[in-house]
Chains A and B, each alone.
Chain A
Amino acid sequence: MARFPQTSQQGMQALLGKCRVLWPLSRCQQLFAVSFNIANREKVSYFSFMTSSSTALPVDSKGTEAFPTKKRSEIQYEGETAWDEESKKISEGKLHFYSSGAPKKRLVSHVLSRHKFVEVQPPEKPLQAEEWSRLRENFRSPEIFEDVMFNSMVRCNSPIDVAKSLLTYVAKTDGDIRYNLLVKYLALCVQQGKTAEICDVYDIMKIRFKILESGAYNLLIRGLSNSDQWRMALTLLEEVRKVMTPSRTNYESCIKAASRHQEMNLACELYHEMLAKDLVPTLDVLQAFFDFSRGMKDAELQKELFGILLYLRENQIYPHRTFMRSIKLWFESIPGENWRGHLTTIKDRGQCPVCDHQLEDSDLTEEEYNNLRERIITDVIHGSDTFRKTSPQEFEAFQTFVENRLPFDIVIDGLNVSHIKPRKMQCENLFHAVDCLAKENVRLLVLGRKHMLINSSNWNQEIMKEMQNKADFFFAENISEDDAFLLYATLRSGKHCKFVTRDFLRDHKACLSDSVTRHLFRKWQRGHQIVFSPSVEGKHINFLPAFNYDCVVQTTGDTWHIPYKDTFEERYSYRVPRKWLCLQQK
C-alpha cells in the first residue's frame, strides 16, 4: 500500500487521481491515520472486513501461506453486503485492491457517484442528546444521518458507548428505533464480542418484531456462537429453520462452536443436517472437525472424519495447506494407531516417493464409462437441438465413420493443434504433431473441418495428402463443433484411447446436466487428455502425457494420500495439485 506523506487536500486529490484510489478525503485521512499504526496483517483484516465478501480476498503479497480464514470472516452481515446502496458505498474501499488493473469504466462511474458519498467521523466519546442533534443539523443530509453514522462506527470499530448514546438520542427524539439501526448496532456488538449486549438487543427485537430477517439472524448466531452463550446460537438456528433455510455460514458458526466445546456429536449432527439441505460446507467447517478432534479416541468420531475425507474425494475438493496440516496433525494424534505423515511431490508415474505406493489410476468403471458416453451423446452433442452443434446427418455419418475404423489410440483436435505455433503454417504444425505421435505405431484420428481441404496459405494440400497416409481424418462442416466429435470418438474407442487438445473443454463439461457426471468427466479428462506445448527452441513439440494416476483423496486402509493446494486462492479447475500428503500407519 502506498503511503502519502501529503495531507493538504489538493495534493492528496492529485495523488488519489493518479493512483486511482477513490475515497472521499475525510475517509482517506482517517484510514491513513489508522494504517500508519497497525501491523501489516491487521491492516489486511481490517480491509477485508469492509469488503466482506469472500471472493474479494485481499492478496497477501508475501504469503505463500494459506490465508487464515478466520481473519476474513470477522464480520459479515448479509443484509449489508449485496443489497442496499449504503453498503455499496462502504465497499468502495474495495477499489483499493483493484488499483492498477481497474477498468476505466468503473472509475468513471465512481467519480460520478462520488458526490453522493457521504461520510462522517464518529465521535470518540458518548455525546449528549444536544450534541448529537447539533451534529445532525450540520450533516449534509440529516435524514440518513443515523445510518451513515452507524456505518462509520462499524467501520471504525467505535466504542460501544458512543453507539449507545446515539441510540439513546434517537429513542428520545423519535420514541422508537428503526430496525436497521438495531441491526447495525448489533453488528457493532458482534464485532466487539459484547455478549450481554447481543442478548439484550435480541430480547428487544423479539418483543418488537414477529420474525427477524436473515441479516439479524446471521449476526446473532455469529455473535453468540463465539461466546460462552453458544448454546443460545443453537436455539436461534432452530428459530431460523422455522422460517427459512439457514445459510451455510449459520451452520458454520454453530458447528464450530459445538466442536470448540468438544460436543463432537452435536457438531456431526449439524453437519449432516447441513448436507441434507444441499448446503456445501466451507473448508473452514471441515477443518474445525479435524482441529478439535485431535487426540480423541472415539471410533464413531473417527468414522465421521474419514467420511469427511471421502466427501473431499467424491467432490474432487483439494484442501489448502493449513487444512492439510490439521488433517496431518489429527492423524498423528490418534492414540495407539501410529500414523506418520509426510509432505511430498508426486511425479508423472504416480508413485509416492515416501511409501512407494502406486496411486489409483483415473479409469472409470464399466458402468461409469458407459454412462459418461451416453451423457456426452445426449447432453453435449444433441443437447436441446442437434442442429445447434452439428446436424443429424453429419453425426450419423461420423458415427459410421468411427464404427468402421475402431479402435483409435489417439484422437487429435486438428484445428486446435494447428495453432500451437502462430508463426508457422497451420498445416505444418499439424503435420509435426501427427508425425510425433505416429512414430509409435498407434492408430490416429484427426478431426478437422472442411475448409482445411481447400488450398490456402495455411493449408497446403500436398502436406494434407501426406498426412492422410499416417492417420485417419474426419472433416466436419465448417459451422459444426468438432470438439463434441472428439469426445465421442475417444470414448467410443475404449479406455486406452487418449485425446490431444489444448482446450480445457469447460464449455462441454458445463453442458452435462448433473454434478455426478461432471465429476466423472473431469476424472476421465485428467486421465485421457494429452496437452502439448511448443518447445522453446521451436524445433519440436512437447507432449504432456495424461496423468497415470488420479488426483483425488485416496486410501488403502493403512495409507492415505491427500493432494493439497499450496495457497488459499481458488485453483483453476483444470489444474491439479502436484503436492501430496502421504499418511501411513507404521
Chain B
Amino acid sequence: PSEKLDLDEWKKVMKSGLQVEVSETISERKELSTLAAARETVEMWRLAGRSVPENISEEQLKAFVECPSKSSKKKYLKYLHLKELYKKNDKRKMDEKRERRLETQEKASKTDETRKNSFTCLWASAMDKTHNWRAAQSMVFGQPLVFDMSFENYMSPREVANTVRQIVLSEGCNRKSVDPFHVHFCNFKDNSQYHREFIKHYREAWDKLLITVTDQCYTNVFPKDKIIYLTADSPNVMKAFDHDKVYIIGSMVDRSIKTGVSLAQAKRLGLETASLPLEKYLLWNTGAKNLTLDQMMHILLTLKDTGDWKKALEFVPKRKYCGFVGR
C-alpha cells in the first residue's frame, strides 16, 4: 500500500482514449432540430439518473416538446418511464409463465394419460355465449343504466382515456353479472374523443357490443320523472335502490377536482339527483367521495341484486374508509 496514488489519473483516462471521438463530436455539432435536441436532453436526463423512459417514440417526443412547463415535462417523462417499467415487467412475467407452461407440458407429455370428462373443455367461449345471452336479454327486459357522455370538454386527453377504460371495465362486469343492466351511452357523438378511445379498446367488438349507443340526450329517451342523476355533489342522499328508475352516471374523470359539473348538468335539465349514502354507512377516512365508474357499476349491480347497502359499499376502496358504521 505504499504505492503513491495518482489522484488525477481518472482525468487522463477520460481525456485519452476519447481523442478519436472528440473530433467526431465536434464535426457533428451542428444546429440540432428541436426534436433531436429534445431527444438529446431526454438522453442526458436518463444518464443523470432521472425517471425517464429508455425509448421514446417520435409521437411521444412531440408531446414532450409541447408540454407547456418544465414540471409538466418532468411529469410526462415520469409517466412514460413508469409505463415502460410496467410493460417490461409484464413481458418478463409472460416469458416466465410461458417457460413454466412448456415445462409442465413436457412433463405431461411424458406421463401421457387421457382424462375422462363428460364435458368438452370449451369454457371461455361457452361462458361468453351465456354472458352475451344475458346481455341480450337485458337489452329487451333489463333496467336501463345511462352513461352521460357529455363531459369531453371538461377533460384532458388522458382523463378521457381513463374514463373510457373505466367504462370498459364497468361494461365487462355488467355483462358478467347475473342480471345485467341495459347500458346506454347517451349524448355520444361519433368521432368524438370518447369514440376514438372506445375503438382503441374494443377494436371490431365495438359494433357487436350489446349496449345502446345514441347521440340523443337521456331526457329524450326516458321520461324525465323516471330519471335520477347520480352525483357526489347532490344534496339528496339515496335511500334505497329503485328498480323502476333510470340511473345516470356522468362519464367523467376529474384528476383536478371540478366540483359541481355533473350537478350543473342535472340542474340545467331539471332532473332529480342523488348521491350514495357513504357517510351513513361508512366511517369515511380520506379521499374524495367521487368513485370510479367501475366501482359505481359494482355498487349498483350489488344493490340491484341484493338491496344490501353494506354488501354494495364493500366496493368502495378500502383506503377511503376505516370501517362500517355500527359494526
Q: Does A126 lie within 8 Å of B14, measured CB to CB?
A: no
Q: Does A79 lie within 8 Å of B263, measured CB to CB?
A: no
Q: Does A216 lie within 8 Å of B235, measured CB to CB?
A: no
Residues of A contacting B44 in the complex (Cβ-Cβ under 8 angstroms): 179, 209, 211-213
Q: Does A204 lie within 8 Å of B263, measured CB to CB?
A: no
Say how far A225's CB is from chain B's closest CB, in angstroms: 21
Q: Is B10 an interface residue (CB 8 A)?
A: yes
Assuming A128-B1, A389-B260, is B49 touching A207 (CB within 8 A)? no
Instruction: Please name the residue on chain B nearest to A205 by beta carbon.
Output: B14
Query: How many contacts A-B (CB < 8 Å)?
Result: 113
Residue-wise, chain B 253-265 has the 8 Å CB interface mask toward A (1 for contact) of: 0000001110111
Q: Is A108 an interface residue (CB 8 A)?
A: no
Q: Is A478 an interface residue (CB 8 A)?
A: yes
Residues of A contacting B40 in the complex (Cβ-Cβ under 8 angstroms): 210-211
Instruction: Please name the residue on chain A nearest to B268 by beta carbon.
Output: A387
The interface stretch among B21-29, B127-135, B176-184 is B21-29
Q: Is A177 an interface residue (CB 8 A)?
A: yes
Q: Is B243 an interface residue (CB 8 A)?
A: no
Q: Does B10 lie within 8 Å of A79, measured CB to CB?
A: no
| Interface residue ranges of B229-282 to A (CB < 8 Å) | 235, 259-261, 263-265, 267-268
Q: Is A36 an interface residue (CB 8 A)?
A: no
Residues of A contacting B235 in the complex (Cβ-Cβ under 8 angstroms): 478-479
Residues of B contacting A161 in the complex (Cβ-Cβ under 8 angstroms): 7
Residues of B contacting A170 in the complex (Cβ-Cβ under 8 angstroms): 10
The interface stretch among A18-26, A80-88, A228-236, A360-368 is A80-88
Q: Is B18 an interface residue (CB 8 A)?
A: yes
Q: Is A101 an interface residue (CB 8 A)?
A: no
Residues of A contacting B260 in the complex (Cβ-Cβ under 8 angstroms): 387-389
Q: Is A272 an interface residue (CB 8 A)?
A: no
Q: Is A168 an interface residue (CB 8 A)?
A: yes
Q: Is A106 an interface residue (CB 8 A)?
A: no
Q: Does A165 lie within 8 Å of B50, measured CB to CB?
A: no
Q: Does B9 lie within 8 Å of A168, measured CB to CB?
A: yes
Residues of B contacting A387 in the complex (Cβ-Cβ under 8 angstroms): 260, 263-265, 267-268
Partner of B3, one of A128, A175, A178, A207: A128
Q: Does A171 lie within 8 Å of B51, measured CB to CB?
A: no
Say how far A74's CB is from chain B's closest CB, in angstroms: 21
Q: Does B264 lie within 8 Å of A385, measured CB to CB?
A: yes
Say how far A162's CB is from chain B's closest CB, in angstroms: 9
Q: Does B11 lie within 8 Å of A388, measured CB to CB?
A: no
Taken together as a complex, chains A and B put the C-alpha atoms of A387 and B13 apart, in Å, by 70
Residues of B contacting A79 in the complex (Cβ-Cβ under 8 angstroms): 45, 48-50
Q: Is A172 an interface residue (CB 8 A)?
A: yes
Interface size class of B (residues with CB under 8 A): 35 or more
Taken together as a complex, chains A and B put the C-alpha atoms of A211 and B263 apart, in Å, by 52
| Interface residue ranges of A184-216 to B (CB < 8 Å) | 200, 204, 207-213, 215-216
Instruction: Please name the residue on chain A nearest to B233 by beta carbon.
Output: A479
Q: Which of B10, B15, B260, B267 has the largest count of A CB atoms less than 10 A from its CB?
A: B10
Q: Does B5 lie within 8 Å of A128, measured CB to CB?
A: yes
Taken together as a complex, chains A and B put the C-alpha atoms of A177 and B11 apart, in Å, by 10
Residue-wise, chain B 47-84 has the 8 Å CB interface mask toward A (1 for contact) of: 11111000000000000000000100010000000000
Q: Is B41 an interface residue (CB 8 A)?
A: yes
Partner of A177, one of B10, B45, B154, B263: B10
Q: Is A244 an interface residue (CB 8 A)?
A: yes
Say how far B28's CB is from chain A's closest CB, in angstroms: 7
Q: Does A213 lie within 8 Å of B45, measured CB to CB?
A: yes
Residues of A contacting B5 in the complex (Cβ-Cβ under 8 angstroms): 126, 128, 165, 168
Q: Is A486 an interface residue (CB 8 A)?
A: no
Q: Does B49 lie within 8 Å of A84, measured CB to CB?
A: yes
Taken together as a complex, chains A and B put the C-alpha atoms of A285 and B15 apart, in Å, by 38
Say how far B155's CB is from chain A's closest CB, in angstroms: 12
Q: Does B29 lie within 8 Å of A180, measured CB to CB?
A: no
Say how far B19's CB is from chain A's closest CB, in angstroms: 9
Q: Does B51 lie within 8 Å of A83, measured CB to CB?
A: yes
Instruction: Please name the residue on chain A nearest to B153 by beta carbon.
Output: A384
Q: Is B287 an interface residue (CB 8 A)?
A: no
Chain B residues close to A by CB (< 8 Å): 1, 3, 5-11, 13-15, 17-18, 22, 25, 28-29, 37, 40-41, 44-45, 47-51, 70, 74, 154, 235, 259-261, 263-265, 267-268
Q: List 30 A-B contacts (CB under 8 A).
A: A79-B45, A83-B50, A83-B74, A84-B50, A84-B51, A128-B3, A147-B49, A164-B8, A164-B10, A167-B10, A168-B8, A168-B13, A170-B10, A171-B13, A179-B44, A183-B48, A200-B11, A207-B22, A207-B25, A210-B25, A213-B41, A213-B48, A244-B41, A245-B70, A247-B70, A387-B260, A387-B263, A388-B259, A388-B260, A391-B267
Given contacts A84-B50, A391-B267, 17 further A-B contacts (CB under 8 A): A79-B48, A84-B49, A128-B1, A171-B10, A171-B14, A175-B17, A179-B47, A207-B15, A207-B18, A207-B22, A211-B37, A213-B44, A243-B37, A387-B264, A387-B267, A387-B268, A479-B263
A-B interface, 7 closest residue pairs, ranked by CB to CB distance from nearest: A387-B264, A179-B47, A213-B44, A171-B10, A171-B13, A164-B7, A167-B10
